[in-house]
């Protein structure tokens, strides 16, 4: 199955440790498209495609 960055999985984490753990796992062998950076109501936001071609949007509450 081919994946497209036009469809992504959105994950809202409760703390930065959880965000960082997921971000490090997804970027390993993948591609960071944006961030991580602060944005709006979130302390961290990133958009990353993992090594399998699945695109993830991760956010961390402030």
pTM above 0.85, yes or no: yes
In a domain, 6, yes or no: no
CA distance 43 to 61: 6
In the chain, alpha helices (H): 16-27
In a domain, 52, yes or no: yes
Render pLDDT for 46-61 as a digit per residue (tens, 0 to 9): 999 999 999 999 999 9
Residues of the chain with pLDDT under 70: 1
Q: Report which of 5, 8, 35, 4 is spatially closest to residue 19, judged by C-alpha positions.
A: 35
Domain of 35, in residue numbers? 14-61
Q: What is the CATH number of the domain that holds 56?
A: 3.30.720.110
pLDDT value at residue 19: 98
Count structural domains, the chain.
Answer: 1
């Amino acid at each position: 199955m081919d994946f497209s960055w036009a469809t992504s999985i959105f994950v809202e984490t409760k703390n930065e440790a959880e965000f960082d753990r997921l971000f490090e796992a997804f970027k390993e062998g993948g591609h960071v498209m944006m961030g991580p950076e602060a944005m709006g109501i979130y302390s961290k936001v990133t958009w990353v495609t993992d090594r399998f071609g699945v695109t993830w949007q991760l956010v961390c509450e402030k």
